[in-house]
Amino acid sequence: MIGQEHVLRALINALDNDRLHHAYLFTGTRGVGKTTVARIFAKSLNCEKGITYSPCGVCSACTEIDQGRFVDLIEVDAASRTKVEDTRELLENVQYAPTRGRFKVYLIDEVHMLSTHSFNALLKTLEEPPPHVKFLLATTDPQKLPVTILSRCLQFNLKRMAPEMIAGHLEYVLGEEGISFDKPAIAQISEGADGSMRDALSLLDQAIAYGGGKLVDDEVRAMLGTVDRRHVYKLLQGLADADAASILETINGLAQQGVDFTAVLAELVSQLHKLALAQVVPQTAEGLAEQEAITALAQAIPQEDIQLYYQIGLIGRRDLPFAPELRSGFEMIMLRMLAFRPDASSQSGLQQTQIQTSNTAPKQVSQKNSQPPVVTSKAYSNTASAAPVKSAIAERGPAVTGSWHKIVAQLGLKGMAQQLAANSEMISRDNGVIRLALSSQHASLRRKSLEMQLQAALQTYFGEPIKLEFSIAAGTQTQHTPAVIDKRQAENKQQAAVDAINADPNVRRIQESFNAQVVTDSVRPIE
Ligand SMILES: [Zn+2]
């Protein structure tokens, strides 16, 4: 058994400590070894040398189980025996002691295929199992089993096997058989097997027959119809170098070989995934047949580019069938990757899109730092991008920035004293008396110590003795406190930046091409 150590350990412990359950359920995708585990377990239970996790393999029980003719191992494929009569017939003899072995073992594969009546018949036996009976159930689809059955089984989930693990086993098998092989050929088979060791071994058989007793990369590729990775790496190298000519040349070569561009695109996307993994965890490339190529490309292409290519590739897979012909569709996808590379786009103006302070609306702007940002783009600085920003300014207009706002900014106050000043509004100042209206939400800031700090700062500012008089005003009456003005200005800046992004022709094109959305919260005005 390869790659199911977690299941084996649990079974070995149970056998070692003589803690045997009467029903076991093995789950997992096809070909991961469910019935293989079950058969080994049946041998463990019935080996003539005693209950053991390492059955001898030579006694008559062991050999008969191997040959599929052990009378006390009753194997059923539920997919072909779903009728209730079948199950009844099957379970009829359950009460009788085993003929030869220690236990009567029922191995029911694809158990989820049983009918409701059959489940009921099975359930009855599971509720009161005779001591000499063991049920080994296997299924790819445990969700289809009634809870009443599930709850009476000890469940083991067998994992899909990683390609590297399959490759390791295939190499071992080939070594034992003395068959020569190319490493990339093994990699192709292990990946083609999709997690199933059974499929991998059967593909291996076919490939050896196809290759006349050898395992050769090109022949395996021809057999599996897979794409030569070297071409895919050439395409990726073309992306890394921004070399459109080389990419088109590679595509031309592929077209002459008559490859399926759908498969090429799938392979490209899957290699981009490997590159992304190798960038964050370099060890993931270790042991892969193409480790060198992956490592080099992972270093050559920036992370964000890989993410972008991957996204374009995925959407390309969806759209490729709509292209008039696959080759041209594939070419467009590759060219799109080039066109939208973050640093390539600077040639088309995207990178030069920057938020600058503008002097287009000097009348509304009274303070140096309160100017709303405006997007200009060298390539697209036309009215289309500038107009919405202007109108945004006109509509919202910076608030009247009273002198109190300026004064507070220059007082150099910190902390709560600053908050007291920022949430107040100056009503009047005459004869050394400054009357302030404090917003009612911040009434708690009216404390003697804070007032004295503010008073001292104001005396320094005006160069004369100052007396402060506070009144508390409702929130609606304090629309011009420095805090409110700052907040409004920040909102205006933010809104102007959002408007500018939304109006930007490059952004629009990205939205149209990729069905993209601007994440408004992520837009930040640049000071
Ligand atoms: Zn044995």
Q: Is the pLDDT of residue 408 over 60?
A: yes
Name the most confidently modeled range: 152-156, 345-349, 444-448, 521-525. Answer: 152-156
d(CA 259, CA 247): 15
- pLDDT confidence of residue 372: 41
Q: Is the pLDDT of residue 380 over 60?
A: no
Distance 70 CA to ligand 1 centre (A): 12
Residues 305 and 382 in one domain: no
- 190: containing domain: 163-224
Report the CATH number at residue 296: 1.20.272.10
Distance 156 CA to ligand 1 centre (A): 24
Which residues on neighbouring strands pair with residue 354, listed in sequence order?
376
- Name the least confident of 235-249, 340-354, 462-476: 340-354
Residue ending a domain, choose from 297, 319, 342: 342
Residues 433-456 have a mean pLDDT of 86
Distance 524 CA to ligand 1 centre (A): 73
Distance 49 CA to ligand 1 centre (A): 6
Report the CATH number at residue 65: 3.40.50.300
pTM: 0.49
- pLDDT confidence of residue 369: 43
Name the most confidently modeled range: 197-211, 262-276, 416-430, 475-489. Answer: 262-276
Token pair recorded at residue 352: 């030069």
| Dihedral sign from CA coordinates of 96, 100, 105, 106 | negative
Distance 95 CA to ligand 1 centre (A): 25
d(CA 444, CA 466): 22
Q: Which residue has the tokens 């040349």?
A: 249
Q: Is the pLDDT of residue 63 over 80?
A: yes
Q: Is residue 18 part of a domain?
A: yes
Distance 40 CA to ligand 1 centre (A): 10
Long-range contacts at 340-343 (CB < 8 A, ≥ 24 apart): 340/308, 340/312, 340/510, 341/239, 341/242, 341/305, 341/308, 342/302, 342/304, 342/305, 342/308
Terminus-to-terminus CA distance in the chain, angstroms?
63
Distance 69 CA to ligand 1 centre (A): 14
Distance 66 CA to ligand 1 centre (A): 10
Q: Is residue 347 part of a domain?
A: no
Report the CATH number at residue 409: 3.30.300.150
Residue ending a domain, choose from 191, 209, 224: 224
- pLDDT confidence of residue 39: 93
Distance 102 CA to ligand 1 centre (A): 12
Residues 471 and 415 in one domain: yes
Q: How many domains does the chain have?
A: 5
Q: In the chain, pLDDT over 70 holds for what percent of residues?
A: 86
Distance 98 CA to ligand 1 centre (A): 16
Distance 178 CA to ligand 1 centre (A): 29
- pLDDT confidence of residue 138: 95
Q: Which residue has the higher pLDDT, 484 or 380?
A: 484
Residue ending a domain, choose from 185, 203, 224: 224
Distance 11 CA to ligand 1 centre (A): 17
Q: Is residue 385 part of a domain?
A: yes
Report the CATH number at residue 182: 1.10.8.60
Residues 173 and 135 in one domain: no
Q: Is residue 349 part of a domain?
A: no
Distance 63 CA to ligand 1 centre (A): 7
Q: Is the pLDDT of residue 348 over 60?
A: no
Residues 319-332 have a mean pLDDT of 93
Q: Residue 396: which residues within 8 A CB-CB, separation 6 or more?
A: 488, 491, 492, 495
Residues 44 and 150 in one domain: yes
Q: For 466-487, what is each residue's pLDDT tens digit?
A: 889 988 887 667 778 888 888 8
Q: Is residue 25 part of a domain?
A: yes
- Residue 84: is it exposed, middle or buried by C-beta count within 10 angstroms (0-12/13-18/19+)? middle
- pLDDT confidence of residue 343: 64
Distance 126 CA to ligand 1 centre (A): 27
- Name the least confident of 132-146, 231-245, 334-348, 440-454: 334-348
Residues 51 and 111 in one domain: yes
Distance 175 CA to ligand 1 centre (A): 27
Residues 466 and 508 in one domain: no
Residues 204 and 272 in one domain: no
Residues 167 and 120 in one domain: no
Distance 59 CA to ligand 1 centre (A): 4
Where residue 137 falls among pLDDT bands split at 50, 70, 90? very high
Q: Is residue 348 part of a domain?
A: no
Residues 296 and 373 in one domain: no
- Name the least confident of 45-49, 152-156, 162-166: 162-166
Q: Which residue has the tokens 């005005």?
A: 525
Distance 44 CA to ligand 1 centre (A): 8
- pLDDT confidence of residue 373: 41
Q: Is residue 527 part of a domain?
A: no
Residues 198 and 248 in one domain: no
Distance 4 CA to ligand 1 centre (A): 22
Distance 502 CA to ligand 1 centre (A): 75
Residues 250-262 have a mean pLDDT of 88
Q: Is the pLDDT of residue 133 over 70?
A: yes
Where residue 77 falls among pLDDT bands split at 50, 70, 90? confident
Q: Is the pLDDT of residue 392 over 60?
A: no
Residues 21-38 have a mean pLDDT of 90
Contact 111, 78 (CB under 8 A): yes
Q: Is residue 423 part of a domain?
A: yes
Q: Which residue has the tokens 């073309």?
A: 238
Residues 291-300 have a mean pLDDT of 89
Q: Is the pLDDT of residue 366 over 50?
A: no
Residues 21 and 105 in one domain: yes
Residues 380 and 505 in one domain: yes
